[in-house]
Amino acid sequence: MKNSDNQLIRILSIALVLGSLLLIFSAEMSHLKSKKEITTDETIYIQDGGTISVQDNTELTEETEEIVSIDIDVPQAEQDIENNNWANTTVENIDYTKPLDFEHITLLVANMNANERERILADQNLFKQVIESEANNRAALMSAASNQLNQHTNVKFMMERNADNMLLEFYLNLLIKRKLPEEFPSNEQIIAYYESNKETQFTFPLRVRVWQIFLPKPKDASENEILELQQKAEEIISKIKKGTNDFSNLAVSQSQHEQSKSRGGYMGVMEVDGLLPEIKEHILKSKVGEVSDPIETDSGLHIIKRGTILAEEVIMFEQVEDQIRQILIKQTGMQLKNAIFDQAREDYPQQISESIIEDWWQKLKNEINP
């Protein structure tokens, strides 16, 4: 019986550790992705009195996300800080023997974002689903704790790390929300961003829908090899023009352009000025649906079918106003977050030199791969 219990603990330990690692990895990847999306060359200056000015250019992203993802009662939070009313995040302070109760549900609902909270409280069936989910979680946690899994070294570390990350996220959001002026960004700042980036971000040049069948040249191709390639291209074009086979089917079976062949040769909407000169020349003089003769470039032979040409277009300010607002909030939030980290490292120095990092790296390498 004891061996069976030990085996159960080991299995649960491995499962929970792997689950925690996957959760943190997912969160880290999401953070890196978010960071990649909003990294720009733009500089946003926070001046005296909370005034924020924007300079330089940045690239518009369609996806937006609020920096402050949870509702924060700033005055209450500041009072809690002063009164030292922060929850203890240590594992030992968590009571795993306590069944689900109204106090837990109250805190759960209070920490939801406003939209989610409103949706759940407006639908009793949805509220019931939340309760059942929490009940399942609590029962499983009580079972894990009864097997003392929460005392396992690795599990305790991962639990404490998750608690630390939650505290950090709340702290950063709190400071960012406190620092950002209520009216940021102003209408003037949004308009200024639009005007300064109008040509690079909000103006679409002449574009065209393009299909192609691509036959690459062999490396250091001989004249005979190029001649054989041209004959193959002519055979493909003949089949299309005679109607014995259509362009899409031949693109799937004959084209060597991996990205487009699975889509029947469709390359998408492309800027005319960005096309190779030989292909651009054909596009501008051909008609919709017309299939080209083999067009030779340095990389190979292209059989081009032209689609609709889309005229130049300027996106109106009203269409992107909300996107620009979220971009400025996100960018400024990231700069504030970096400033918070810089100040924290100054106030609470972490003495980690290059030599220490190298030493830790070598030790871990030797431990993992002795």
Last residue of a domain, one of 276, 293, 314: 314
Query: Residue 303: beta bridge partners?
Result: 213
For residue 95, what pLDDT is reported?
A: 77
Q: Are residues 60 and 80 in the same domain?
A: no
Contact present, 214 and 302 (Cβ < 8 Å) = yes
Q: How many CB atoms lie within 10 A of CB 194?
A: 18
For residue range 171-219, what is the model confidence (pLDDT) as tens digits?
999 999 888 888 899 999 999 999 999 988 898 899 999 999 999 998 8
| C-alpha–C-alpha distance, residues 108 and 103, integer Å | 9
Query: Where in the sequence is the domain holding 240, given as residue range(s)?
Result: 205-314
For residue 316, what pLDDT is reported?
A: 93
- Nearest CA to 90 out of 33, 21, 162, 145 is that of 162
Q: Where are the alpha helices (DSSP H) in the chain?
A: 2-38, 74-82, 102-110, 114-121, 124-146, 153-179, 187-196, 198-201, 223-242, 247-254, 258-261, 277-285, 317-347, 354-368
**What amino acid is encoded at 325 in this protein?**
R
Q: Are residues 219 and 336 in the same domain?
A: no
Q: Are residues 17 and 109 in the same domain?
A: yes
For residue 79, what pLDDT is reported?
A: 53
Q: Are residues 58 and 73 in the same domain?
A: no
**Residues of the chain whose pLDDT is less than 70?**
1-93, 370
Phi-psi category of residue 50: left, alpha or beta, with phi > 0 → left and psi -120 to 50 → alpha: left
CATH number of the domain to which 295 belongs:
3.10.50.40
Contact present, 196 and 293 (Cβ < 8 Å) = no
For residue 262, what pLDDT is reported?
A: 92
Count of domains forming the chain: 3
Last residue of a domain, one of 267, 296, 314: 314
Q: Are residues 188 and 87 in the same domain?
A: no
Last residue of a domain, one of 289, 314, 339: 314
For residue 370, what pLDDT is reported?
A: 62
| C-alpha–C-alpha distance, residues 315 and 317, integer Å | 7
Q: Are residues 215 and 353 in the same domain?
A: no
Q: Are residues 188 and 168 in the same domain?
A: no
The conformation of residue 111, written as its DSSP 8-state character, comes to T
- Nearest CA to 279 out of 253, 297, 263, 259 is that of 297
Q: Are residues 122 and 229 in the same domain?
A: no
| C-alpha–C-alpha distance, residues 177 and 187, integer Å | 19
Q: Are residues 55 and 138 in the same domain?
A: no
For residue 280, what pLDDT is reported?
A: 94
Q: Are residues 133 and 102 in the same domain?
A: yes
Q: Are residues 296 and 273 in the same domain?
A: yes
Q: Are residues 55 and 100 in the same domain?
A: no
User: 355 Cβ partners below 8 Å, 6+ apart?
Assistant: none
Strand-strand pairing, 313-314 and 203-204: antiparallel
